[in-house]
Structure 1
Amino acid sequence: MAEKLTPGDTAPAFTLKDATGADVSLSDYRGRNTIVYFYPAAATPGCTKQACDFRDSLASLQAAGYEVLGISPDPVGKLASFADAQGLTFPLLSDEDHAVAEAYAAWGEKKNYGRTYEGLIRSTVVVDPDGKVAVAQYNVRATGHVAKLRKDLKLEEVG
């Protein structure tokens, strides 16, 4: 497993398919602050809550100069259904072989109900306009994460 990213590191480059099957690259977002968040599985309760929080905060995040990309190991078809069902308007990217999650240290050993296994670690990395890591958060909670991230980025809460 890769070392956890820290502020100042160069964010690993990637190109993944979005929910429409189009290629999306981190380099497409060069010159903008980009929130890259990793979530375990589309359409599960926690991941739906987190995605909807990003959806509901998207306009204010974009107004503050931040774009949002969600990455999971789900296939493109499942992402398309999830985006449609929840009205998600930011890109959801398919990392089925979890290579990008591994590069971002968002894939590794997890424990659940006494069982140890390999899986996606809910994580968020904010990439600055120059492609450097500005913030790296691991083992984040689905509920309340967007509000905490806004606070950590010193963005005004709206509403």
Structure 2
Amino acid sequence: MVSSKGRKTASAERRLAELHIELAPAPIPLGAYVESVQTGNLLYLSGILPVIGHEPKFVGRLGREYNVEQGREAARIAALNVLSAARNHLGSLDKVTKVVRLVAYIATDGDFFAQPKVADAASELLRDVFGEDKLPVRMVLGVASLPLGVPVVLEVLFEVEA
């Protein structure tokens, strides 16, 4: 692969191996929806939670039950689930040509303002796997509550090979 700046870049699948990341099976929808939908060369991933197995790893809000570092861990787990869902849909993460958009919903109490630091854990994992030149635009929102009481939900849009 060659980056937009002409530099040779490693494939996403190779980067996962170099980072010693073994992805768990893709998350299973917890309701009447699907985890991913592709239309043309866009792959939409629904709200991905920090679940392991079929269970939330964290239940609570940032600034109340959890601190920034625990929130970052929740965001990283959700981002790993994003990668699993994308790979499950595409067959290989090497088919991703760009991470277009990342939206991070962070459940917080009213006095927590470090949502961007929590979301950075997801952005950093995507950067480490896909490369700096494929980083997305990002929206980070603090909310009162999220499904199953989890502290983080990620929504991601990928551009993929046609």
Same fold (TM over 0.5): no
TM-score (norm 2): 0.30
Higher helix share: 2
